[in-house]
Amino acid sequence: MLEDQSTAARIELTQLHATTCLSMTQFINGRHCPKLAHSIVHQLGLLLAHPQLAQVSDSRELYRQLLEHWQKVAAQLREQREPRPVYH
């Protein structure tokens, strides 16, 4: 039973990684959507919180750096979409 849980957790981690990579690829290929950037930030947060990742410090560091980068991207896109106040 414990082995089944471990296998399921690895599959979940692999699927989450693949989904995150696909989202980043879509963004890089021209779909510069703020919602997509926010989704990438969320997915990276899930990856960092995944219990299977706790055992692999190099992967955690990579995902942490990616999270910081995508948080900046998402913030920049949010700023671009927010209307600027007009003073007369």
For every residue of 11-24, DSSP letters joined together read: HHHHHHHHHHHHHH
* Chain-centre distance for alpha carbon 19: 9
pLDDT value at residue 88:
58
Interval 25-48: pLDDT, tens: 999 998 888 999 999 999 999 999
Q: Provide the pLDDT for residue 58.
A: 85
Q: Which residues of the chain have pLDDT under 70?
A: 1-3, 82-88
Predicted TM-score of the model (pTM): 0.81
Distances (CA, A) of 31 to 25, 28, 58, 84, 86: 9, 7, 29, 23, 29
